Structure 1
């Protein structure tokens, strides 16, 4: 991205300490990492409901997005160095197009994939964004992926991840299209609410004179979180879903 000057990739000692501390903190979150999905109450409603249920499905979509740590981590990484609302809008729109497409098509056309592998790729999207924010691709490989194309492509995987959660349930055929569209609208509303909070906090943080130095630590944390997500999903794949 070209909307802001990024800090140097790392400074001495910070990466090692940050990754150690953050890795320990994230390990303590292991139980919640497994919990991401549809809870029992929501599952009971979805499997027991019939007909068109616009408001409940909008609520479920919004709830899934605002509690979806993997989606929020990726979004936080995407907007990390975006200062203009025009740029934020462009990237978030690409992400929305991506995940809306695969969410709807995945369920309606019954396109299936192993949810552990899809969620591992979603974890990879978080790692990618952190490395991109630190200019790691240019530093290490001399090239940088197209950031807008990457956000769109990873958006497809995020939407497919949502689809795999719904595919695990028995959805009533009656009103399915309307309910799925309502769920997707709810996801977008949840994304807007979460993004508003993230942007407000980010703008306050940017006023700090130590933002550049803190930004390195934050993206190191983001990268660590992504690797933890990948590790847990791959562990789940080999122990439960292979």
Structure 2
């Protein structure tokens, strides 16, 4: 996996500012739904009884495709992965992690404050951007195992999904197949989102601007992660 020397050219500060402002605005506008499910989806889930494979698959895919925190992390993970074999390995580790805690968290009612869990998810974005910039080696002299980190953060991403479902009144009738369907939908949404990202990334990699823009992109990604962390911690202190 290629990484960049850790540096922040002056012209990237403008990009960081724009990304930070955009995410703050998005966070404020979506605050009402930041730790839950949309009202229509909530009404369906709480009113459903028995097995509903198709609808739960749809809800899982929808949550992943619209879950900007999950997508930002995955963009960081695949940023310097050029071979599909490597992409598959990392995405599989992430899927194992989030599938495990999603299912176990709901089935065994393992709870944690959702704001703190989502703050850690924001930190996962910061971690991956810093890793792509080779910041750990520059600042600390060592680099965390990237595959182990993706698996561990996958556990937290899955637990974040579990906290969303725990806020709802789920029927025990058909819960296991419904949860499996939701998880499958998450994987489907992840596949769709990553497919689109990979197409764009591969097109960008063929241009001369990739090496220059990669520093700016990962710097902005790190900034986005810090914005997500700050937003979640603010929610914890003010609303929790």
The answer to whether the Cα contact below 8 Å between 1:7 and 1:213 also exists between their aligned partners in 2 is no
CA deviation string 1:54-95 (max 9, x = no partner): 000000000000000000000000000000000000000000
Moved more, 150-159 or 12-21: 12-21
Q: How does 1:53-132 map to 2 (within 5 A)?
A: 53-132=52-131
Which residue does 2:25 correspond to in 1? 28
Residue 7 (1) aligns with residue 37 (2): no
- The normalised TM-score by structure 1 is 0.95
CA deviation string 1:101-142 (max 9, x = no partner): 000000000000000000000000000000000000000100
* Cα distance in 2 between the residues matched to 1:140 and 1:28: 32
The answer to whether the Cα contact below 8 Å between 2:5 and 2:135 also exists between their aligned partners in 1 is no
Q: Taking structure 1 as reference, are residues 12 and 70 closer, same or farther at Cα in structure 2, changes over 3 Å only?
A: closer
- State the secondary structure of the residue aligned to 1:28: helix
Pick aligned residue for 1:19 from 13, 16, 20: 16
- State the secondary structure of the residue aligned to 1:29: helix
Q: Compute the RMSD of aligned alpha carbons.
A: 1.2
The answer to whether the Cα contact below 8 Å between 1:52 and 1:178 also exists between their aligned partners in 2 is yes
* Cα distance in 2 between the residues matched to 1:209 and 1:194: 25
- Deviation at 1:11? 4.8
Where does structure 1 lack aligned partners over 5 or more consecutive residues? Answer: none
Q: Taking structure 1 as reference, are residues 215 and 118 closer, same or farther at Cα in structure 2, changes over 3 Å only?
A: same
Which residue does 1:50 correspond to in 2? 49
- Deviation at 1:33? 4.6
The answer to whether the Cα contact below 8 Å between 1:131 and 1:137 also exists between their aligned partners in 2 is yes
- State the secondary structure of the residue aligned to 1:231: helix
The answer to whether the Cα contact below 8 Å between 1:26 and 1:228 also exists between their aligned partners in 2 is yes
Which residue does 1:200 correspond to in 2? 199
- The normalised TM-score by structure 2 is 0.96
The answer to whether the Cα contact below 8 Å between 1:62 and 1:187 also exists between their aligned partners in 2 is yes
* Cα distance in 2 between the residues matched to 1:51 and 1:147: 40
The answer to whether the Cα contact below 8 Å between 2:56 and 2:179 also exists between their aligned partners in 1 is yes
CA deviation string 1:177-213 (max 9, x = no partner): 0100000010001111111001001101111101011
Which residue does 1:38 correspond to in 2? 37
Where does structure 2 lack aligned partners over 5 or more consecutive residues? Answer: none
* Cα distance in 2 between the residues matched to 1:11 and 1:38: 38
